[in-house]
Structure 1
Amino acid sequence: MQILLTGATGTLGSQVLFSLLEEKFSSIENIYLPVREKKSVSSKERIRKMLQSDFAPIFIKNNLAAIRAKIIVVSAKDILNPERFLDGVRITHFIHSAGFVNLSTAPEAKDEIFKENFEFTKAIFEAYSRYIDKFIYISTAFSAGNVGGLLPNDYLKTAPTAHRNHYEASKYASEKYITQAGAAIGIPVQILRPSVLGGNIMDTPNYFISKYMVFYLFAKFFHRNTSTDPVRITANTESGLNIIPTDYAAKVIVAVLDTAIEQLNIVHSKTTHITRGITKILETVAFDNFSITQNVINTTSGFESKLEQFYYDTIGVHLTPYLTSEPCEWDTTLLQQILPIPAYNLEDYLGDTIKFAKTNGFKNQQW
């Protein structure tokens, strides 16, 4: 196998890399990793730090020399010029895990989000179409938009009409493009859609995640605030939080690489009830002056406190569309056949992931 993985230093991409090395090591010839440089840290140094971090699996640490021999770090500057580094090698599996996660609904943010997700994905596919055997696109389970009921794995038969933000819309547009472009030139395309990512549940350390986003930002906001002002949180009390451990999502991605599955939602079979989930998060960060309402809170309705206004001016803008989503569930029949979802208490898991984040100061990994 000759693999090219984008987003290898990201939350999911790093776990996909670890799982590839653990599960497919003997069959992998090379893994190409396009990585950006960061100020005074080179691309190679970023990968070295990740492989040698305290959070790397034991297998990685015990086989570091052999693993390094298979990894080819490529400057992100060359990502759209594969002829500069492939040297005639054909990529059997191109895994596009890199993405720009921005949940903004502001009209002025649309162009940047589509440029980073849709336009970049299109440019990558066009640049590598002559060099790859299969294209695996890591999308999001929320690219279907704000729809209720039972969601199938196939999102492409019916065009969504209710995207909550430009991020969802850009990911869906990318799915449509690569599916059609792949079919036109005979390259198999696989679309894999993880749900909201949470801390590890299968690998050690449990509850680890390299970047704290989405519901972690909710916890971080209330953990770091010093006000005791009351806050009303708008949420649909009939809805739920669908969170999937990052290591589980990564293992599923690796497990299906060589299958004929074209679309797969990597989601939990159950959701955490929205009221109990919010309560668990806020209990864990010791914030208790809150209430949950289905009323819309904004400048028109008025705010009950400065903290409440600050919440809706910042993270509330991005999170409220998810907290007020239509109740839905995903069909996980196929997913369970591929890799059964580990059994654990959803509310305890949610609390434990926040405790882990608190212990680590909500600090993202710097690799």
Structure 2
Amino acid sequence: MNCLLTGATGIVGSHIMFEWLHKALTTKDVNHLYVVIRASKVSAKIRLKEILEDNDKPSFLNQFSTETLLDKITIIESDLLSLDINSCKNLNFNTIIHCAGSTNLLQSTDTKNNVKEQNLGVTKHLLNEFKTKLKRFIYISTAYSFGIQNKKVDDKISNHNVTSFRNPYEASKYESEYFVKEFCLKNNINSQVLRPSIVCGRLIEAPFFETPKFDVFYSWPMFLSKYAKKCTENFRIWIDKASGLNIVPVDFVAKSVLYAYLKPDLKELNIVNPVQILHKDYVGHVLRSFKINNFEYTSIKPENLNTFETLYYKSIGLLFEKYVSVPDLQFNAEAISKLIKQLGLEPNLGVHKNFMNLIDFSVEKKFRKSYS
């Protein structure tokens, strides 16, 4: 039960590593983990050690020494496009969990090229390079690879007509999924595609609310912390009041990935929240927390923008308008609900009652990364 993991220094990847280590040292359902980490200002080994010794890691690892944790990990110091079969031919794994990738939601041409290279290009390289070594390839995609849909989606993407996307990121993940399934079918490799929705800090394992990087929806409080003082007039915020954000805690995502790892017949799984949090239920709380009390919801994009509105709609509002201003993506959550019940968790994973705790925590941390 050995595996190679990419993206181990990222938000989801680091938590997959934490869950793997906990299982390897307790239930022993899994064994050794190979992690691909590139050197930065420091070596890959130092980067990994910083993660394992960080005070913000899940408390369930505190009972183990750093040396004990490192005994279960082999570091491959490389960037993914330079990784090759020759350097790994003596390493004992036949499964890859591919978690690394770009989550950039911008619409520019540069972004489109970058996310396609980081998501599709790297995935193609890994499969082509390791096809003779692999028995299984687990691809961590996104729930938004379904693109824009008018009907509720299930876990099997081929059941749906996928033609339009909100941004190049979603398109690149869909293309990557398609390539993974086709390539693995042709080369007799078992594939699994796992699709987390929007990821927030931990809500299952202490210390709570932690995440190594405040990404995606955290960009909104980042914007407000920097510019809220410029809001001196009424703020008209464009939202669809019937829609919401589908948010899942990062530790739940990691537990779901390990669950799928131990169930190789599970081909596709949307790791989503059965109940989205409605924009009308959280937007006001967030705005008031930044002392923006004079605001109103609008169902269409306002015209004759004031200074703050102009700033908002040209920056963060432009980035998120296709997520908060239109009907949201709906999921049939039957499969993931069974796992939630099996783990004894709240049906909505505690996101609704802890949403402002997550926001306040990110502000208190000043959106600092825990590690690079």
Alpha-carbon shift at residue 90 of structure 1 (Å) = 4.3
Structure 1 spans left out of the alignment, 5+ residues: none
**Distance 1:78-1:215 versus aligned 2 partners, 3 A rule:** closer
SS in 1 for 2:47: helix
Aligned residues, how many? Answer: 362
The residue that corresponds to 2:271 in the other structure is 266
1:189-233 Cα distance to aligned partner (Å, 9 max, x none): 000000100111110111111111222111121122221333322
SS in 2 for 1:150: coil
The residue that corresponds to 1:253 in the other structure is 257
Please, which of 197, 207, 211 is the counterpart of residue 199 of structure 2? Answer: 197
Structure 2 spans left out of the alignment, 5+ residues: none
The residue that corresponds to 2:241 in the other structure is 237
**Distance 1:250-1:345 versus aligned 2 partners, 3 A rule:** closer
1:211-230 to 2 correspondence within 5 Å?
211-225=213-227, 226-229=229-232, 230=234
The residue that corresponds to 1:322 in the other structure is 323
Q: Which moved more, 1:255-264 or 1:104-113?
A: 104-113
The alignment's TM-score, normalised by the length of structure 1, stands at: 0.93
Please, which of 193, 207, 219 is the counterpart of residue 209 of structure 2? Answer: 207
The residue that corresponds to 1:82 in the other structure is 84
CA distance in 1, matches of 2:253, 2:80: 28
CA distance in 2, matches of 1:332, 1:160: 19
The residue that corresponds to 2:308 in the other structure is 307
The residue that corresponds to 2:135 in the other structure is 133
**Are the aligned partners of 1:30 and 1:71 in contact in 2 as well (CA < 8 Å)?**
yes
The residue that corresponds to 2:334 in the other structure is 333
Alignment of 1:292 with 2:294, yes or no, is no
Alpha-carbon shift at residue 302 of structure 1 (Å) = 3.4
* RMSD after superposition: 1.9
Alignment of 1:179 with 2:181, yes or no, is yes
CA distance in 2, matches of 1:21, 1:250: 12
**Are the aligned partners of 1:51 and 1:61 in contact in 2 as well (CA < 8 Å)?**
no
1:284-306 Cα distance to aligned partner (Å, 9 max, x none): 33332332212124xxx331x22
1:28-177 to 2 correspondence within 5 Å?
28-38=30-40, 40-63=41-64, 64-77=66-79, 80-177=82-179
CA distance in 1, matches of 2:161, 2:300: 29
CA distance in 1, matches of 2:355, 2:60: 27
CA distance in 2, matches of 1:21, 1:339: 21
SS in 2 for 1:197: strand
**Distance 1:353-1:220 versus aligned 2 partners, 3 A rule:** same
CA distance in 1, matches of 2:338, 2:57: 28
SS in 2 for 1:365: coil
SS in 1 for 2:199: strand
**Are the aligned partners of 2:238 and 2:300 in contact in 1 as well (CA < 8 Å)?**
yes
**Are the aligned partners of 1:252 and 1:339 in contact in 2 as well (CA < 8 Å)?**
no
Letter in 1 for 2:88: L
**Are the aligned partners of 2:249 and 2:351 in contact in 1 as well (CA < 8 Å)?**
no
Percent of aligned pairs sharing the same letter: 26
Q: Which moved more, 1:68-77 or 1:122-131?
A: 68-77
1:53-112 Cα distance to aligned partner (Å, 9 max, x none): 001223433222222112111122366433343243342321000010111123443222
Letter in 1 for 2:231: T
SS in 1 for 2:74: strand
Q: Which moved more, 1:157-166 or 1:332-341?
A: 332-341
CA distance in 1, matches of 2:50, 2:272: 30
**Are the aligned partners of 2:24 and 2:32 in contact in 1 as well (CA < 8 Å)?**
no
Letter in 1 for 2:134: I
**Regions of 4+ moved over 4 Å:** none
**Distance 1:350-1:209 versus aligned 2 partners, 3 A rule:** same
Please, which of 279, 284, 290 is the counterpart of residue 279 of structure 1? Answer: 284
Letter in 1 for 2:259: A
Letter in 1 for 2:10: G
CA distance in 1, matches of 2:91, 2:158: 32
**Are the aligned partners of 1:80 and 1:127 in contact in 2 as well (CA < 8 Å)?**
no
The alignment's TM-score, normalised by the length of structure 2, stands at: 0.92
Letter in 1 for 2:137: F
Q: Which moved more, 1:78-87 or 1:212-221?
A: 78-87
SS in 2 for 1:149: coil
Letter in 1 for 2:287: L
